Amino acid sequence: MDNSFGTIFRITSFGESHGDVLGIILDGVPAGLNFDLEVIQDELDKRRPGQSYLTTTRFEKDRAKILSGVFNNKTTGAPICLIIENKDINSSFYEKQKDFLRPSHIDYSAFKKYGGYSDYRGSGRFSGRITAGFVMAGAIAKQILKKYGIIIFAYTNSIGNIIDDEKPPINDLEKLIEIREKSLVRSINQKKSKTMEQLIEGVKIQKDSIGGTIKCIISNFPAGKGGPIFNSIESNISRAMFAIPAIKGIEFGVGFKASKMKGSEHNDPWIVKDGIVQTIKNDAGGIIGGISTGMPIEFTVVVKPTSSIGVPQKTVHIKTMENVEIEFSGRHDPCIVPRIVTVVEAMTANVLLDSLLIDGSIPRIFKE
């Protein structure tokens, strides 16, 4: 059960960083959908390593390959299995270091849970690389949501102390996606983008890493969707976000700022405008009581600095139980934020598609 997510649209993840493949099963995709591998590849390309000089030197083309569920270029309603093959595998570092617990890595937790049988190569099952599967699923989910005008857009909101505090114009998210894709760090703030880039370059030279935040905005999501209580949109999105390695916090709307606000400030007044019930502002982030209000859904996640760094660190040899200080080797991103942007979008799409299928709002057969 650990590797499945969703009710009607259910994804099941498998594969390891240095194994043969990484993959995902998509159960519950409506039949009759035009299936275009390029749509998936485009999303994968935004997540893949080696996009720029700022990412890991592991070179992977990450080509999506389909094993089942599509016939005559249409989805059939059967489970879709998508994989990518691992090509540029170099496990030599991991062999040498396997008994040293990498700080803030899964090594010790996994050792206790799986008794030392985990595949440690490239963090194995716990590698951020497994999110490639999430992205492939999300590409299809996004494609369906887009038919209903629903656009999901995430971007780098901060890297270290460089914070983009401008409120983005959300009336044209597709335009923002274009702008974002011109930035190496997936920022939509041209000036700050450069500074962020320099910051990352700096920590890279230091063999260190840096954290950041990602903002996600969803437009045109209809009001009255999602469930109350345990099936709230906030519950499901947050559950999905914490499945992404390195994410350590999430807030909806104004989020943590709400702690310092009065009700009279935080409450979003209702207004009828152009015949549509809406709120004058959107501090709630488009969700109240777990259910969508029709306003844009907005949330922010924090990405911790990559745990894999090249500076000497204190740690323990799990077999000899000695305290040591070592310098870990391996290939890694000095800042994983820009690549996670795509994963955040994908998992959000997976959640929202499921909520609309649960609700009966999306047909099980597309005629197109």
The reply to whether 353 sits near a copy of itself by the rule CB under 8 A is no
3-state secondary structure of 215: strand
Using CB under 8 A, which of the segments 11-19, 49-57, 144-152, 181-189 binds a copy of itself? 11-19
The single-letter DSSP state of residue 304 is P
Residues 12-51 binding a copy of itself (CB under 8 A) are: 12-16, 19-21, 23, 25, 27-28, 31-32
Stretch that binds a copy of itself, among 53-61, 68-76, 167-175, 180-188 (CB under 8 A): 68-76
Residue 354: CB minimum distance to a copy of itself, A: 10
Neighbours of 71 (CB within 10 A): 12
Sole binder of a copy of itself in the list 54, 89, 111, 330 (CB under 8 A): 111
Residue type, 227: G
Q: Is 326 in the site for a copy of itself (CB under 8 A)?
A: no
**Any contact of residue 132 with a copy of itself (CB under 8 A)?**
no
Among residues 148, 242, 330, 331, which is the contact residue for a copy of itself, using CB under 8 A? Answer: 242
In the set 217, 240, 346, 349, which binds a copy of itself (CB under 8 A)? Answer: 240
Is 149 a residue that touches a copy of itself (CB under 8 A)? Answer: no
- Burial class of residue 297 (count of CB atoms within 10 Å of its CB; 0-12, 13-18, 19+): buried
Smallest separation, CB 89 to a copy of itself (Å): 13
Shortest distance, position 64 Cβ to a copy of itself, whole Å: 14
Determine if 53 is a binding residue for a copy of itself (CB under 8 A). Answer: no
54 binds a copy of itself (CB under 8 A): no
- 89's CB contacts (< 8 A; 6+ apart) are 18, 121, 122
Judged by CB under 8 A, the residue of 119, 197, 298, 345 near a copy of itself is: 119
Q: Give the DSSP H/E element, type plus range, for residue 5.
A: strand 4-5
Backbone φ and ψ of 227, nearest 5°? -115, 165
Structure tokens that stand for 26 in this block:
């998509």
Burial 232-248 (b: 16+ CB within 10 A, else e): bbbbbbbebbebbbbbe
Residues in the interface with a copy of itself (CB under 8 A) total 155
Report d(CA 236, CA 43) in Å as an integer.
22
Measured between alpha carbons, how far is 105 from 118 in angstroms, rounded to an integer? 13
Smaller CB distance to a copy of itself: residue 170 or 318? 318
Q: What is the rounded end-to-end Cα distance, in angstroms, of the chain? A: 34
Among the listed ranges 42-50, 56-64, 167-175, 276-284, the one in contact with a copy of itself (CB under 8 A) is: 276-284
Stretch that binds a copy of itself, among 56-64, 104-112, 144-152, 175-183 (CB under 8 A): 104-112
Q: Which two tokens stand for residue 145?
A: 């949501």
CA atoms of 96 and 90, how far apart (whole Å)? 12
Among the listed ranges 141-149, 173-181, 188-196, 320-328, the one in contact with a copy of itself (CB under 8 A) is 320-328
Query: Of 39-47, 113-121, 138-146, 185-193, which part binds a copy of itself (CB under 8 A)?
Result: 113-121
Tell me which residues in 162-201 interact with a copy of itself (CB under 8 A).
none
- Beta strands at 270-273 and 74-75: parallel, antiparallel or unpaired: unpaired
Considering only residues 208 through 237, tell me which ones interact with a copy of itself, judged by CB under 8 A: 208-213, 222-232, 234-236
Question: Which residue in 78, 81, 83 sits closest to 32, CA to CA?
Answer: 78
Residue closer to a copy of itself (CB basis): 93 or 242: 242
Q: Are 351 and 236 in contact (CB under 8 A)?
A: yes
Site membership for a copy of itself, residue 91 (CB under 8 A): no
